[in-house]
Amino acid sequence: MQDKSAPEEFDVVIVGRGPVGVTLANLLGLRGVRTLVLEREARTYHLPRAVHFDDECMRVFQTIGLAEAILPQTILSPGMLFLDADGRMLLDWSRPQTLTPMGWNLSYRFHQPDLEDALIGGLARWPHVTLRNRCDVFALDQDEHGVRIRYEDLSNGRLSEVRAGYVIGCDGARSLVRRFIGSGMDDLGFHERWLVIDVLLKRERDDLGDYSLQHCDPRRPATYVRGTGRRRRWEITVLADEDSQEVAQPAKVWELLSRWITPDDAAIERAAVYTFHSVIAQRWRSARLLLAGDSAHQTPPFLGQGMCAGIRDAANLAWKLSAIIRGGAAADLLDTYQSERQPHVREFIELAIRLGGVINTKAIEAGLAAGKARENAPVRLEVKKPLLGPGLALGDLPLAGHLAPQFILSDGGRSDDQIGYSHVLLVASAATLSSSLNPSQAGIKILSSDDAEGVGHWLREHGIIAALVRPDRYVRGTARNDAELDRLIAAITPSTHVPSAA
Ligand SMILES: O=C(O)CCc1cccc(O)c1
């Protein structure tokens, strides 16, 4: 008979029910990992925070089977224009309106509460995933077997404890889990107060446009972002001598908005001063405690990449956790989490800071290495996706650490749906594999030109005969010849593959 006083056991406890925590919970749910999400607040925070995500994020939402639920809640972003104080275009960051190699559009705008509802709704599919709201974690004690998590149920003041193999802090900028890890923060130097104003238009205002706008007026830089439906956001710099509370008062807010809208046009949903930081935690892991999302890194918003970085953390981390918990992989697999993700997120934060420099000073050439400004023409900005940092990628091989594309299957479907959240070996023909090499025995799926014609084209384009792609869709390694293919398959030890879900 079970000892009634024994605490409940989970494989993973996630602290924080924001988009990063709940995406992670869905990924772990997919892999059969027993997961508990503990959230301090009662229900979805009803005000918007993040407003933009990219094609890679949508691919993660596809992986957890929620892209179709999320897509109707989004609008496509045509991009962002940087204008000088006289309205002349300095920098053009238009986005193609076609599908990218990820199989999705490059840029989506959304209302965060809608996204959170879809992600939280998705948890109901996993009987082994539990969400507890109004549960405030206050203590984490690690021993060699796991972590003891103590929390207060804020609805009745009752203290409870559970045990877990791992605790992931998706608990935001002021993370409690980070405090228990004892991590300091590397400061990348950008800390600015901005007034963030969300409004609901009372009537259509097509003249405001669909592009996001950066008003690079050194006197008072400002950002405009078109949201979904009638939602619009302005972010306006707070000047050095201004008081954060006073500048957020309705009269002052309307004064600042007056060049674009008046109270006849819109109602203010929220106006609050935020300090945008650029920091990265020095330690993302201490044994069984890990960080993901804003607890690990914070960026100025100018690239719209803050939440995206956290979703990437979740996609990188979940398959590694499940390989350890369900596949018997060694725990040092988790050492590759920070080493891979930190340089990647750092590159995005540094670019966002440089963009912030453009917005503040108009100094395009100083701010960006994006090409020379042509006479009377804006510089075009193209943002390249960074590479994964050092970790599992077989770095001396082509494409290692890059994202692999998603292919259209012969039956019209999408390759990620066939592959799932698993490793896959891309080969021109399954016959390429000698009988002694059997990746499927190691739980690795195989996708060939027979399944999707694009596979062969892509391999030829890069001069390779095979590519091993991880569950988070990053290329782990490739092969240019049979010897390299042998090496690639040998690298897929049972310690790092993800077993099929129960
Ligand atoms: O790329 C877009 O359309 C919006 C990105 C964004 C979101 C929020 C603030 C900001 O400065 C940029």
Look up residue 323 and give its two tokens. 């390989």
**CA distances (Å), 268 to each of 75, 213, 229, 254, 311, in order?**
21, 19, 15, 9, 29
Distance in angstroms (rounded) separating the CA atoms of residues 41 and 133: 6
Please list, residue by residue across 374-398, b when 16 or more beta carbons sit within 10 angstroms of its beta carbon and e when fewer do: eeeebbebebebbbbbebbbbeebe
Mean pLDDT of 85-105: 94
Residue of the CA atom closest to atom 7 of ligand 1: 304
270, with CB counted inside 10 A (0-12, 13-18, 19+), is middle
CA of 316 to the centre of ligand 1 (A): 24
Within 6 A (CB) of ligand 1 lie 51-52, 77, 80, 107, 212, 223, 225, 235, 301-302, 304
Q: What is the pLDDT of residues 173-191, one digit of tens each?
A: 999 999 999 999 999 999 9
Mean of pLDDT values over 125-151: 97
d(C-alpha 33, C-alpha 314), whole Å: 14
Distance CA 165, CA 144 (A): 10
* Residue whose token pair is 């919970």: 25
- Contact criterion met (CB below 8 Å) for 12 and 163: no
pLDDT score at 443:
72
For position 43, what pLDDT does the model report?
A: 77
> Which of 154, 160, 118 lies closest to 133 in space, CA to CA?
154
Residue 266: both structure tokens together: 């819109």
Distance between Cα 468 and ligand 1 center (Å)? 34
Mean pLDDT throughout 136-154? Answer: 97
Q: Report the nearest atom of ligand 1 relative to the CA of 302.
A: 11
Distance from residue 212's CA to the centre of ligand 1 (Å): 6
pLDDT of the residue at 4: 60
Q: Inter-axis angle of helices 55-63 and 19-30, to 10 degrees?
A: 40
Identity of residue 391:
G
pLDDT tens-place string over residues 297-326: 999 999 999 999 999 999 999 999 999 999
Return the residue matching tokens 């130097």: 189
Atom number, ligand 1, closest to the C-alpha of residue 93: 1
Q: What is the pLDDT of residue 487?
A: 85
Going from the Cα of 111 to the center of ligand 1, the distance in angstroms, rounded, reads: 13
pLDDT at position 28, please? 98
What's the one-letter identity of residue 333?
Answer: L
Protein residue with least CA distance to atom 5, ligand 1: 304
Q: What is the mean pLDDT of the chain?
A: 91
| ipTM here | 0.96
pLDDT, tens only, 19-46: 999 999 999 999 999 999 999 999 766 6
Residue 501 pLDDT more than 50?
no
CA of 267 to the centre of ligand 1 (A): 21
Q: What percent of the chain has pLDDT over 90?
A: 80
Q: What is the pLDDT of residues 381-434, one digit of tens each?
A: 888 999 999 999 887 789 999 999 999 999 999 999 999 999 999 999 887 776
| Beta-bridge partner residues of 136 | 152
Mutate to test the pocket of ligand 1, among 53, 213, 299, 303 (most ligand atoms within 8 A of CB): 303
Q: Do residues 237 and 222 make contact, with C-beta atoms less than 8 angstroms apart?
A: yes
List, for residues 232-266, the tens digit of each pLDDT value: 999 999 999 999 999 999 999 999 999 999 999 99
Distance separating the N- and C-terminal Cα atoms of the chain: 26
Average pLDDT over residues 489-499: 58
Q: Which of 212, 234, 351, 383 to mutate to test the pocket of ligand 1 (most atoms within 8 A of CB)?
A: 212
- Beta carbons of 428 and 479 less than 8 angstroms apart: no
Query: How far is 389 from 338, CA to CA, in rounded Å?
Result: 8
> 463 CA distance to ligand 1 centroid (A)?
37
Strand-strand pairing, 159-169 and 147-153: antiparallel
CA distance 152 to 99: 46
Angle between helices 335-361 and 306-325 (to 10 degrees): 180
Q: What is the CA radius of gyration of the chain?
A: 24
- Split at pLDDT 50, 70, 90, the class of 472 is very high
Least confidently predicted of 55-59, 69-73, 495-499: 495-499
Using the mean position of ligand 1's atoms as its centre, give its distance from the Cα of residue 117 in Å: 22
pLDDT number for residue 66: 98
Alpha helices in 430-494 (DSSP H): 453-461, 482-491
Using the predicted structure, report yes or no on whether residue 495 has a pLDDT greater than 50.
no
Mean predicted confidence (pLDDT) in 369-392: 75
The pLDDT value given to residue 499: 45
Minimum CA distance residue for ligand 1 atom 4: 304
Residues contacting 13, CB < 8 A, separation 6+:
35, 36, 37, 38, 147, 149, 162, 164, 166, 167, 168
pLDDT recorded at residue 283 = 98
Choose among 294, 300, 193: nearest CA to 246: 193
Give whole-number Cα distances, 394 to 56, 60, 328, 493, 498, in Å: 22, 23, 22, 14, 18
Q: In the numeric block, which tokens belong to residue 171?
A: 């608990």
Low-confidence winner among 73-77, 85-89, 155-159, 368-372 (lowest mean pLDDT): 368-372
Predicted confidence band at 2 (pLDDT cuts at 50, 70, 90)?
A: very low
CA of 82 to the centre of ligand 1 (A): 11
Q: What is the pTM of this model?
A: 0.94
Bridge partner list, 477? 468
Average pLDDT over residues 338-358: 95
The two tokens of residue 280 are 């990265």
> 352 vs 43, which has greater pLDDT?
352
Q: Residue 111: its pLDDT value, please? A: 95
Asked if the model's pLDDT at residue 81 lies above 50, the reply is yes
Using CA atoms, how far residue 255 sits from 261, 269, 381, in Å, is 10, 16, 32
